[in-house]
């Protein structure tokens, strides 16, 4: 499935140490976005009013410099567009009288951001203004492509790292940014769960080169929280379930997110005539590391509900057990195998049946 997001969009683990001080004030409280600072890879258009022959298109080199017509090399690394424009004006004023300079940013370099915590692929990423993010599950078997356009946002960053894991807490998404003016670290906490649950509007922060994103692990989940997240744009649209035991095609099954237990069994070819319909085990790994096992019954006509036909999550294991007769037959077969060459098996079955 491919989603398209049009228009400009507003898509780590950092531990406090003695040498660092964190300012937890919200980055959005002042409603002032950080100024863009030039760096290697940015493409600039320089125009000099009245002197078309001086116009040029340049790229910021790895050492932070640009080569300008009639001027030579100028270092613009870490400068804002305004500061770079003033620096160019000062340089051109040495050969021109009162030069009027226009400086445009034609193309930005990829934005480098660190994404850690409860995401499927933590790491350091380069994000372009136009790109494609791949949401994946823990096993990497399912992917959902999301095309993005416009300046990258916090949601884009999370999707770039494959989306959140089933242990991820959308109430505690941290955007971590260094303040270039005072060298302090600012942390903005974002609660996307409130948006998914209640539709609360929330600012989707822009991200900038050098930002970090950290998603904390969940401690306590609300009812149906995991299933709501699984069907959102923070997770892929399919999951992998392992179905074993008395089904016709046991093994890993890829099914749509939020599918009930009956769908997984159907994907495995349905139950065999040796199965116990009233004893279907659902085994699940919980966010806190514990494993739970629940027993339910199976009917193809069951509606999805918590007790009789629970909704599945990625990584669930379903065990379809044998019925009583199948278990007895298997036990008898094991017992009689050493005597099978001496006594006819049908005779032994009759003895046990009596």
The answer to the question of residue 132 being in a domain is yes
The answer to the question of residue 336 being in a domain is no
Residue 119: name the closest of 209, 195, 213 by CA.
213
Based on the domain organization, do 168 and 116 belong to the same domain?
yes
Based on the domain organization, do 263 and 162 belong to the same domain?
no
Q: What is the CATH number of the domain that holds 126?
A: 3.10.560.10
Based on the domain organization, do 62 and 144 belong to the same domain?
no
pLDDT score at 203: 76
Distance CA 159, CA 310 (A): 27
From first to last of its 354 residues, the chain has per-residue pLDDT tens of: 444 333 333 332 333 333 333 333 333 333 445 678 899 999 999 999 999 999 999 999 999 999 998 889 999 998 999 999 999 999 999 999 999 999 999 988 888 999 999 998 899 999 887 777 777 776 555 667 777 778 899 999 998 898 888 788 999 999 999 877 777 889 999 999 988 888 888 778 999 988 999 999 988 878 778 778 877 888 877 788 899 999 999 999 988 877 888 889 999 999 998 888 888 999 988 767 788 888 888 877 777 666 778 888 888 999 998 876 655 555 545 444 554 454 454 454 444 444
Instruction: Tell me phi and psi for residue 146, to 5 degrees.
Output: -130, 115
CA distances from 7 to 129, 211, 340 (A): 11, 22, 76
pLDDT score at 227: 75
SS3 219: coil
The answer to the question of residue 253 being in a domain is yes
The answer to the question of residue 345 being in a domain is no
Based on the domain organization, do 71 and 47 belong to the same domain?
yes
Q: Does residue 8 contact residue 145 with C-beta atoms inside 8 Å?
A: no
The answer to the question of residue 120 being in a domain is yes
Q: Which tokens hold the place of 233? A: 């744009």
Owner of token pair 């951001």: 113
Based on the domain organization, do 99 and 87 belong to the same domain?
yes
Distance CA 159, CA 144 (A): 10
What predicted TM-score, i.e. pTM, was given to this entire model?
A: 0.66
Based on the domain organization, do 205 and 250 belong to the same domain?
no
HEC states along 177-210? EECCCCCCEEEEEECHHHHHHHCCCCCCCECCCC
Domain closes at, from 58, 75, 107: 107
Q: How many domains is the chain partitioned into structurally? A: 3
Based on the domain organization, do 169 and 76 belong to the same domain?
no
Based on the domain organization, do 126 and 219 belong to the same domain?
yes
Distance CA 161, CA 4 (A): 18
Based on the domain organization, do 133 and 144 belong to the same domain?
yes
Domain closes at, from 87, 107, 127: 107
Q: Which helix (H) or strand (E) holds 154?
A: helix 154-160
- Structural domain of 89: 43-107
Based on the domain organization, do 121 and 134 belong to the same domain?
yes
The answer to the question of residue 217 being in a domain is yes
342: exposed, middle or buried (C-beta count within 10 Å: 0-12, 13-18, 19+)?
Answer: exposed
Distance CA 9, CA 131 (A): 13
Based on the domain organization, do 22 and 131 belong to the same domain?
yes
Residue 70: name the closest of 99, 43, 41 by CA.
99
Based on the domain organization, do 121 and 196 belong to the same domain?
yes
The answer to the question of residue 352 being in a domain is no
Domain closes at, from 63, 88, 107: 107
pLDDT score at 1: 44
Q: What is the CATH number of the domain that holds 47?
A: 3.30.1950.10
The answer to the question of residue 338 being in a domain is no
């Amino acid at each position: 499935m491919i989603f398209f997001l049009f228009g400009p969009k507003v898509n780590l683990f950092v531990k406090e140490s003695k040498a660092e001080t964190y300012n937890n004030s919200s980055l959005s409280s002042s409603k002032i976005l950080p100024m863009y600072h030039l760096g290697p890879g940015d493409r600039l258009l320089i125009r000099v009013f009245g002197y078309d022959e001086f116009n040029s298109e340049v790229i910021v080199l790895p050492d932070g410099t640009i080569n300008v017509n009639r001027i030579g090399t100028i270092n613009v690394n870490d400068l804002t567009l305004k500061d770079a424009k003033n620096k160019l004006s000062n340089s051109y004023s040495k050969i021109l009288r009162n030069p009027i300079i226009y400086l445009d940013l034609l193309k930005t370099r990829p934005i480098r951001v660190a994404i850690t915590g409860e995401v499927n692929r933590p790491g350091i990423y380069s994000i372009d203004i136009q790109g494609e993010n791949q949401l994946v599950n823990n096993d990497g078997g399912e992917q959902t492509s999301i095309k993005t356009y416009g300046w990258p946002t916090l949601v884009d960053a999370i999707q770039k790292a494959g989306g959140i894991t089933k242990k991820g807490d959308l109430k505690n998404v941290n955007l971590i940014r260094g303040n270039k003016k005072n060298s302090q670290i600012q942390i903005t906490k974002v609660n996307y769960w409130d948006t998914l649950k209640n539709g609360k509007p929330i600012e989707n922060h822009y991200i900038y080169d050098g930002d970090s994103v950290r998603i904390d692990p969940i401690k306590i989940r609300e009812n149906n929280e995991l299933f709501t997240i699984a069907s959102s744009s923070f997770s892929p649209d399919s999951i992998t379930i392992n179905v074993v035991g008395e089904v016709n095609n046991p093994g890993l099954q890829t099914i749509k997110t939020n599918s009930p237990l009956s769908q997984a069994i159907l994907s495995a070819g349905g139950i065999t005539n040796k199965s116990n319909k009233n004893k279907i085990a659902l085994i699940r790994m919980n966010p806190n590391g514990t494993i739970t096992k629940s027993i339910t019954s199976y009917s193809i006509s069951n509606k999805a509900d918590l007790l009789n036909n629970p909704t599945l999550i990625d990584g669930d294991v379903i065990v379809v057990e044998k019925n009583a007769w199948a278990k007895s037959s298997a036990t008898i077969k094991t017992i009689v195998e050493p005597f099978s060459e001496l006594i006819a098996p049908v005779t032994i079955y009759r003895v046990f049946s009596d």
